[in-house]
Amino acid sequence: MLTFLLQPLRSPFRKLLARWVDLRLVEPDPQTLGLHPDITTLYVLPHAALSDSLLLEAFCARHNLPPPDARLHLASQPLKACVPLPRPGRRLWGRLPPAPAPFAGLIDDLEQFPGQDVQLVPVSVFWGRAPGKTFGFWKLLAADDWRLTGRMRRLLSVLVNGKDVEFHLGAPLSLRELYDGRSPELTSRKVSRLMRVHFRRVRTRVLGPDLSHRNTLIEGVVASPEIQRTIEECAAALGQSPQRMRRRARRYGREIASNMSYPVLRFLAQLLHRLWNQLYAGVQVNGLERAKALAGDHTLVYVPCHRSHIDYLLLSYVLYREGLMPPHIAAGRNLDMPVVGPLLRRGGAFFMRRSFKDNRLYSAVFNEYLHRLLSRGHPVEYFVEGGRSRTGRMLTPRPGMLAMTLRSYLRGTHRELAFVPVYIGYEKVLESSSYLRELQGGAKKKESPFDLIRVLGQLRQPFGQVTVNVGEPLRLGEFLDGCIPHWRQAEHGTRPPWMTRAVPELGRELSRRINAAAALNAVNLTALVLLATPHRAVEASLLKTQMAMLVELQRLHPGGAQLSLPEGTPDEWLNETHTLGFIERRDQALGELILANSEQATLLTWYRNNVLQLFALPALVAFAFRNNVRFDRDTLHDLLAPAWPLIDHELSVSLPGEFRQALDNTLDNLVHLGLLRHDNGTWRRPPSHDADSERLSLLGRLIQPSLERGYLLLAALLRYPSGSLTREALEEHSRQLAERLTLLSGLNAPEFFDRRLFSGLLDTLEKEGWLWREAQHLCFDKALEAAQLRGRVLFDPVLRHRLRQIALQ
């Protein structure tokens, strides 16, 4: 009756709604749906809502899609081209009769007319999820969530949230293909079930699982069998009462648990939207469709690189704006500061201590809390590096959170778990001044609430663009199938021995996938070229030519499968880098020069290291020709293959195939760019007076620091007999040698002699079998000496002599 009375008002209501509503997000682009113009279209809504159907009519008219208010006349009975799924209802005196199957009549028609079909298009509409220009009680009251929406609440939602509507269209489904020859009623129920699954996945992707009250979640953690058993054992071991240990467990739970709030998420999204527009010239997002494809039926664990304190804020903002539920974020307890901590906690942050392996109860509570998040399907985010990278390169992944995630997965989760690697690339980070101080050898500064005031003071400075690239997701089950073939035979709730091998492998693979999604930008391109020059000075024309060559090299054979390249021209890139304050430009009679002072050069190393992995193999090949005129393929392969694992470990490089195949492709690309000449199976470098020779030399110098560190470490090791040095002594001695080399070279580059780099080199040498330990001393055989001797041909005599002299100190 109500529908009949409102029918004459549909047209004015639709026009009014079309004027009032702004669609903030439409996904996907309507033109990419692939609707067949000769097939009848039927739109399906998750529930009956006049506002949704009117909005759909206005939307289809605007985008020239088949009208949802038309009538389908396939056979005997007409049917409106937009139908809601039936939903069981109740009344005071009992249940309503079952709703009729909405697709049965259409299936009857398809049986009578074999040449016809119907394409079903599911449509999901979300009112008020996104942040708008206003913020208040009524806006929050009317926003979409997991609760059912009544007529008055929907009316309020339309009035309050009309400027913040998300529109999600599903891929068309053929009704004829879904019909399996059984009765129309059974097929109708099957189609309804498929539609409900689709709508549930979309709703889960957009809103996430329903949030439990924080106190309820903490009490559930403490009451779990695992925590109760740990409480009893800790009480017995420490001689304390179980009640006291239980109170301590609750205190740990309150210290850890987030308190995610939809109103705070909306508030933060609005606040961050203004902040990003003030700080950056733009936020570019690439590859997010990879996460969206999994969000409906996978538990997502986002693993971004960690370059800035705003990484987690930026990623949560991007996910929220793009129609995905922001994750629960593992944050260091040092960020649980006054003012900042409570806000982050309500935005989804849960806090963890830097180390808790000596506190069994805390460890158990944290593990149980993480397991409950993952098992319920909540998206989670953490940084596998542990802390921010002070050198700009990817740090060696820490095993803690990865091991806890893997143990939770073995205990059992309702959905498959997938890691989503994310690369966040900045043209200029907010922490530039603190990174410069630390790169120059200064101590790390402890975070403080006053850092917010310092950030506000920088809002008028230019920070360029920021890019968020989503890499190739890693499904944990598939990864374990390839890494540990028999992992499914492990007993649930146990820590199988193979985890010791699986966790580091998982960390390395995630690091490679993060780096494979790197973003080349104006600043790191300038850094790659300028820092390869002997005195941090270069002709502007050569700098622009070399930057264009590096970009073209990535187009020919990218060093990362999901990397992004900068838009614009080398002139624009140079202007951008100068505007951000990273270089000096000096006019000279013979042409413009580009220079970097000591502080600029030191800071540029951080940005160079962000993307150095993309050019690792081309640079290694170019370096081999620095002291050698020509090579055939086999000789070059035998020379470079032993060094590649060391470079791979340091830079987390992702090769598309085997090393030999990648080497062949690199040689072909360098020939195409004119940097090498190819004659009868032999590659040779250009003549020294040729401009291409200088370009090849600049490319080779990108990898020189890594090779120099390896040379110094091996020279220091081989000075003594096998079994003479401990690992710690060799690491420290190598660090001192590298520091001496930078001082003698007149460079201010403490990142060159970072001890962790030498530790990584030793890890790789042990993994590859070149080194082994006996009684805590490093042992080797003649094979290592022979390999080091062969590798000497990579270095020219002057550089080799200098490195040897330093190594003899």
pLDDT at res. 300: 95
What residue ranges of the chain have pLDDT lower than 70?
Answer: 1-11, 13-14, 17-19, 73-77, 88-101, 128-163, 210-212, 440-459, 490-494, 746-748, 799-800, 807-809
pLDDT at res. 111: 76
Considering only the C-alpha atoms of the chain, give the largest distance between any 2 of them, rounded to a whole number of Å: 97
pLDDT at res. 131: 33
Domains of the chain (ranges; CATH) run 2-89+98-207 (no CATH), 262-515 (3.40.1130), 522-700 (no CATH), 704-807 (1.10.10)
Question: What six digits make up the tokens of 28?
Answer: 């996907």
CA nearest 519: which of 466, 570, 593, 478?
A: 466
pLDDT at res. 167: 83
Q: Which long-range contacts (CB under 8 A, 24 or more apart) does 497-505 make?
A: 499/403, 499/406, 499/407, 502/406, 503/399, 503/402, 503/403, 503/406, 504/397, 504/399
pLDDT at res. 341: 84
Q: How confident is the model over 630-642, as pLDDT tens digits? A: 999 999 999 999 8
Q: How confident is the model over 645-694, as pLDDT tens digits? A: 999 989 999 887 789 999 999 999 999 999 999 998 899 999 988 999 99
CA angle, 184 then 185 then 188, to 5°: 85
- Determine the distance from the C-alpha atom of residue 353 to the mean position of all C-alpha atoms in its chain, rounded to a whole number: 23
pLDDT at res. 666: 94
pLDDT at res. 49: 81
Question: What six digits make up the tokens of 459?
Answer: 């809002």
Residue carrying structure tokens 């935005």: 347
pLDDT at res. 301: 96
Rounded to whole angstroms, how far apart are CA atoms 337 and 447? Answer: 9
Could you tell me which residues are beta bridge partners of residue 168?
27, 124
CA angle, 95 then 99 then 105, to 5°: 165
Question: Strand, coil or helix: what is 679?
Answer: strand
Which pTM value belongs to this model?
A: 0.84
Contacts of 202 (CB under 8 A, 6+ apart): 122, 124, 168, 170, 296
pLDDT at res. 809: 64
pLDDT at res. 133: 35
pLDDT at res. 594: 94
Rounded to whole angstroms, how far apart are CA atoms 798 and 487? Answer: 53
